[in-house]
Amino acid sequence: MQRLADQIQREVAGLIRQLKDPRLGMVTVSGVKVSKDMGYADVYVTVLGQELNVDYAPSLAVLNNAAGFLRGALGKSLQVRMIPRLRFHYDEVVMNGNRMAALIHQARASDSQTLDDDANHSQTSE
């Protein structure tokens, strides 16, 4: 199942680059999960610039509208009996990871400032 998901991820990433829709941003396929019955493949994507609050909804709409076309193209390249229906989702894991990294950086900077202040305070009181 994982092998099929990896293959779908590679193929869909290449096919998305061929879509010619101006609403489609710079999309990266970050993962694919195939259902046990192989009826559906949930494709998780990120959009370049999302950390700058770029709206990913238009890109997601384009991908979901093109899902039938993409599925047909997958059928020509995959050697499986049944091609799963594609459902595109925004991958929030990447954004959450970026937020966590920013919070950690902020906390470390705050700790460093507190340590510097404590060191300066102890030197002046001696």
Instruction: Specify the long-range contacts of residues 16-23, CB closer than 8 Å, at least 24 apart.
Output: 16/63, 16/70, 19/62, 19/66, 21/62, 21/66, 23/58, 23/59, 23/61, 23/62
Q: What is the pLDDT of residues 66-123, one digit of tens each?
A: 999 999 999 999 888 899 999 999 988 766 666 777 788 888 888 777 766 666 666 6
Kindly report the CATH class assigned to 2-90: alpha beta
pTM to 2 decimal places = 0.73
- Nearest CA-CA partner of 75 in 2, 31, 11: 11
Domain boundaries, the chain: 2-90, 92-126
Q: What is the pLDDT of residues 11-54, one digit of tens each?
A: 999 999 999 998 888 899 999 999 999 999 999 998 886 555 66
Contact by Cβ (8 Å): 87, 43 = yes
Token representation of residue 96: 């959450």
